[in-house]
Structure 1
């Protein structure tokens, strides 16, 4: 399958604080804090207007209604209507105030996540499932935007509204107000228990969304394999298992939310009922006016939504907190190690071919000195993939790298552009340690073509010129396509401007490989690393590509992973890599005579794959 099926690492941290997690968003909120504070102020004013309506009702009942004054009743009704309209307008203004900054924060979070993904080492992407990363950049960030739009404001606004409401209640009648304060303790305890349980369910659901996303992505990208082997039923079963698992978690979240909602609704309702009974008795005894009781109950009912929404707001906040955790799990990953020395971007002289002539004693070329490498996530007691590799590729020379499966050929080639960091030893390019070269300069000097060509959803032109500097144009494009024998491009519907589609699957394997080779040579690189670049070509096309490639290799220093004698013959010398070490170096004919392993590999009876 095209993507890893393993889930992303999920470290189990000690009990976390949702507030502490959400506070990590502050750097993104700081530039727009004025809009959010203005929105909170507007929402507080709007909510407090709803508390003025009961006071108007009290005046109406004890005044115009009791005195049978129609004009007073109409005045009170207009006042209530005006307060309601003002409240609606203010809430609309609040929504307008938070719309732009919330989307700005989401865009900044998404841009930073994408930027970090580009800068994380290849070893990170080897470990993490692509679906987990996709879900963090889509679902999780949508949850954060929803949190900024609603719960962030209303947790504060509703808290202020409830406090102001209880001040009004206690001012009207302290005994009835104390009755409504009785549910506070059970509500606090219940919300605390809900928060703990819901946070675990929310995290589990978000991780399961990532797993499901990974499966869907793999099934779509690998649809040819799924159909070719008739595995659609097994993939469907795997999808159902993950979907049912996610459904179960979502149902648990729904049950928790229903329970807290019922609890938060029932307890205050009981208190309001008790206050109604007690207030009615006081009105009957003449200790309380009817208008005060109406105002009191109207205020209590106005506070129902701020209180009942606590569960809903806490649930959204918990989901936002877990989304924040998942987001910063990626953002906290260490980027590629910093360059140890400053440097400049490659100049035209750096990129010019043939700067040094081949020669045994001429300094330069590519040098591997005591290179040892173990993958970062490999067990400490496991043997390294490469074990003290010493190898020299002279300036302008082409060296073929040959070895059996698992010998470390592809790993060795990945070290030249620093896709991985060495465990020990060093790699020199023209006498300069690559660990001390800025990556921008290093990767402008080194061009690569991998065994499995990757194309992007862009035009042929854009895919090929990705391997060149911004100054490259049609002349460089035509030259690269000629070298790669990619004449088929002219027959595409729009020529070089034809969109190749996702992964370039609209092209054949050989066509994709030729475009990948064109991308590698388009920038006339000083150093060229080719990982079996001709494996998908037929023998006739291979011969044409080899003839054109010889012209390119004459002017560059190249390391070519080879599995077939025809590719080996492109090289000046051959290095045999065996069990992570260089076992022999020489010409093709020399190694055929002196190395039984090399002769076996080249005979066609050995395993020619890596």
Structure 2
């Protein structure tokens, strides 16, 4: 709860003033039955028309003041609730942005979406409900009990006899509800995960004609959510008749004993009517308290889930030396080994030692699963080495702040991720303040300009989600351009030209050698043509560097490298 208080602080005025307005509404509600009692017992009994009119006017004033109190409470509680939820949602999103890949994998994307949206909304609804009902219900109940005791302590025993039954019902609902709501949120996680995977892979699903399979998978997840929701709603639906039964039995007993007291002269007709209204207020307030507490029970589950995100420490701790920046681009791997979190068996990388001088181009070759991408992911700290250390300019990467470290590294990922917006907006991810001339020049170096400038709106062309209106090669060239926009000291190209034709790839490499000659470049590739001109070529196998050298050196001594060259370029090329 202390964490929640932090998000409430900016809205404390609204949080305090809203219950004050609710107390005004409660006070007016408690006055109404007593005023009506006076109309019957004094005005009607004595045929005093002026008194009846005066009391009626007073009741109207109370009603208007009560409405003002209710509206004021609604306004301020809503303002506090929405503001609080906005800040909480932003904090959760910001925390997720700071997560490492391992943290995201641990929670799963669908669950993080649910926690950021639905769970925060549940907390918001419960908070708003608390400001209203957890103020209204207790005070209305206490005020009602005091009022019935003032009217007839003897008849009040009927009300007090009903309270234990309602309390037992409330406790049962809370215990049962916590389990059911927890299950319901987990099922909602699953629905969001299936939905997110389906939308992300919609083209693959259609290409493999797997729509029926995905429909069945979603139908099962949706059915599980419906079943768990129905169990929770069924429990709530049982509550309404039970509460109604308790209320009706209480009212019957009240009229039975109250009627006898009226005939005996110990109660007036006006008092029995007021007593009836107060009993209704007491029982309704207890009922509303029970349902508010059920909402709180569900919100408690949601808060636990949101708090799990907020309390999770990123596996990648930010460095503290804000003055450290990448100045030269020298990279050293010193006895580096790496295993993915929770992975059993052999490490993905084992005893990697390597030094790359500023301005060198290093290519990495190897079979799928040999550890190529994992190795370069350690440079910008997408993961941290399990043992050993990665150094840039002689300093352990863990000492840099993440912003300074990643700000000096350009990265074109294996997956070509572009965002909804224009081409220019996507390129400006690398440099928000870049001039039009710089954008055009960098796009030309990445061989993106030739196709962009043929488009009707050129750099103002809107991209669909993930750049769906571009070809694979076009997306790769834009991703390379985006990485170059940062003017990085280190550039990482992770299989970033696999969809680009050989002629275009040669032009990109030529630009890297001439225009960006002082940049340290890491190239992960499958094609020999992509790496032949590199200063160093690393050949990886089972998480180790089994050989290293230039193309000419490796064709002479590395059987693995020669086999790759032979398979792609023929045996003559493999002989050098």
Deviation at 1:390, TM superposition (A): 0.6
SS of the residue corresponding to residue 183 of structure 1 reads: helix
Query: Which among 365, 379, 396 is matched to residue 330 of structure 2?
Result: 365
Deviation at 1:80, TM superposition (A): 2.1
Paired residue for 1:297? 276
Query: Which among 437, 447, 450 is matched to residue 485 of structure 1?
Result: 447
Paired residue for 1:377? 342
Paired residue for 1:475? 437
For each residue in 1:453-505, what CA deviation from the matched residue of structure 2 results, as whole angstroms up to 9, or x when unmatched? 1111122112122123x443223212221111112111223211222121111
For each residue in 1:236-290, what CA deviation from the matched residue of structure 2 results, as whole angstroms up to 9, or x when unmatched? 1111111111111111111111112222222132122111110101111222222
Distance across 2 between alignment mates of 1:120 and 1:174: 62
SS of the residue corresponding to residue 421 of structure 2 reads: coil
CA contact (8 A) 1:479 1:522 kept: no
Alpha carbons of structure 1 residues 221 and 338: separation in structure 2 relative to 1, 3 Å: closer
Paired residue for 1:421? 384
Paired residue for 1:67? 46
Alpha carbons of structure 1 residues 552 and 315: separation in structure 2 relative to 1, 3 Å: farther
Q: Residues 431-470 of structure 1: matches in 2 within 5 Å?
A: 431-468=394-431, 470=432
Alpha carbons of structure 1 residues 570 and 273: separation in structure 2 relative to 1, 3 Å: farther
Query: Which among 581, 586, 606 is matched to residue 549 of structure 2?
Result: 586
Deviation at 1:345, TM superposition (A): 6.3
For each residue in 1:39-81, what CA deviation from the matched residue of structure 2 results, as whole angstroms up to 9, or x when unmatched? 1121122122111111112212221111122222222222222
SS of the residue corresponding to residue 138 of structure 1 reads: helix
Paired residue for 2:462? 499
Query: Which among 208, 219, 232 is matched to residue 211 of structure 2?
Result: 232
Distance across 2 between alignment mates of 1:134 and 1:402: 37
Paired residue for 1:27? 6
Deviation at 1:553, TM superposition (A): 5.2
SS of the residue corresponding to residue 317 of structure 1 reads: helix
Query: Which among 119, 122, 136 is matched to residue 140 of structure 1?
Result: 119
CA contact (8 A) 2:316 2:381 kept: no
Q: Residues 139-288 of structure 1: matches in 2 within 5 Å?
A: 139-288=118-267
CA contact (8 A) 2:333 2:390 kept: yes
Distance across 2 between alignment mates of 1:526 and 1:109: 37
Consecutive aligned runs of 4 or more in structure 1 exceeding 4 Å deviation: none
RMSD: 1.9
Deviation at 1:314, TM superposition (A): 2.0
Paired residue for 1:42? 21
For each residue in 1:75-114, what CA deviation from the matched residue of structure 2 results, as whole angstroms up to 9, or x when unmatched? 2222222222221221011111222222111111111111
Gaps spanning 5+ residues in structure 1: where?
1-21, 356-363
Distance across 1 between alignment mates of 2:566 and 2:93: 47
Gaps spanning 5+ residues in structure 2: where?
570-576
SS of the residue corresponding to residue 434 of structure 2 reads: coil
CA contact (8 A) 1:404 1:601 kept: no
1:600 has 2:563 as partner: yes
1:399 has 2:341 as partner: no
Q: Residues 114-129 of structure 1: matches in 2 within 5 Å?
A: 114-129=93-108
Paired residue for 1:566? 529
